[in-house]
Amino acid sequence: MVLLRRVIGDALRSRRQSQHRTLREVSTAANVSLGYLSEIERGQKEASSELLAAICEALGARLSELLRDVSTTVASAEQVDGILAPVPAAPAEDGQLTVSTMVDGEVSVTVRQDTPLKATLRATRTVRAAGRERDVLSAA
Domain ranges of the chain: 4-139
119: CB partners within 8 A, 6+ apart:
1, 83, 99, 111, 112, 113
pTM equals 0.61
pLDDT tens for the chain, 140 residues long, are: 678 999 999 999 999 999 999 999 999 999 999 999 999 999 999 999 999 999 999 999 999 999 999 998 888 877 765 544 444 445 555 554 544 555 556 677 777 766 666 677 777 776 665 555 554 444 44
CATH architecture of residue range(s) 4-139: Orthogonal Bundle (1.10)
Pairing label, strands 118-129, 132-139:
antiparallel
